[in-house]
Chain A
Amino acid sequence: AQSVTQLGSHVSVSEGALVLLRCNYSSSVPPYLFWYVQYPNQGLQLLLKYTSAATLVKGINGFEAEFKKSETSFHLTKPSAHMSDAAEYFCAVSDRSSNTGKLIFGQGTTLQVKP
């Protein structure tokens, strides 16, 4: 069965610092991979996704993620944090062979950005 692990339930960075949120998956076949962001009292918004081809994926708001098959990882990065990046971030996977396309989520990482 597929699973997703997000290392660090809470990450704190200073404004302007590098953001690194970690995600590892467990799957016999590389799945589709997604990062979603949840701002307070809002729904989930897609940041970026990996479905095939390019392993470095660029998303919205300056975020990007790199798929590394050898490490079964899909870590999310942003070179310079902004106060508005403070939110909950979820990594999710979807089985490529599944028609239903259900998402399996990690535990989430709360990003705090200090001034």
Chain B
Amino acid sequence: EPEVTQTPSHQVTQMGQEVILRCVPISNHLYFYWYRQILGQKVEFLVSFYNNEISEKSEIFDDQFSVERPDGSNFTLKIRSTKLEDSAMYFCASRRDSSADTQYFGPGTRLTVL
């Protein structure tokens, strides 16, 4: 069964450094998402991406964040200058088409900012 994959599984970085989190969505899916889950808190929407552009972003997704689908396969989330409060589990998700379709989630990348 196709699945969403994410790399790395765990990333440790120093405050102020740039990080890139990588995701490979399911191949025939058209909509892509990033969510995050701070330890002990609920899963929060960050951004959605469709047709090679951002379709919606949350208040969390400020100028420090960017997304890219560089090669038709990978979907990346970049944090330009990490802060301590960016420490969280980041989930990538994808869905095929209709908003009624299931969003399939990857296993997540745990980001630790020191």
Contacts and interface: CB of A to CB of B under 8 A. Distances in A.
Q: Do A and B come from one complex?
A: yes
Contacts of A99: 50, 55, 99
Contact of B42 (A45, A46, A98, A108): A108
Nearest to B95: A101
B45 A102 contact: yes
12 contacts: A36-B105, A43-B107, A44-B105, A90-B42, A90-B43, A95-B99, A99-B50, A99-B55, A100-B56, A101-B31, A101-B98, A102-B33
B105 A45 contact: yes
A105 interface: yes
B102 A46 contact: yes
A52 interface: yes
A59 B76 CA distance: 31
Grouping DSSP codes into helix (H, G, I), strand (E, B) and loop, the A interface class, with mixed when no group exceeds half, is: loop
Contact of A94 (B91, B99, B105, B108): B99
Grouping DSSP codes into helix (H, G, I), strand (E, B) and loop, the B interface class, with mixed when no group exceeds half, is: strand
Interface of B: 4, 31, 33, 35, 41-45, 48, 50, 55-56, 91, 93, 95, 98-108
Contact of B100 (A44, A51, A92, A102): A51
Contacts of A104: 45
B50 A42 contact: no
Contacts of A45: 105
A96 interface: yes
B42 A105 contact: yes
Contact of A100 (B44, B50, B91, B102): B50
Contacts of B44: 105
A44 B43 contact: yes
A49 B43 contact: no
Nearest to A51: B100
A103 interface: yes
Contact of A43 (B31, B101, B105): B105
A95 B100 CA distance: 9
Contact of B48 (A32, A43, A101): A101
Given A100-B50, A101-B103, A107 B42 contact: yes
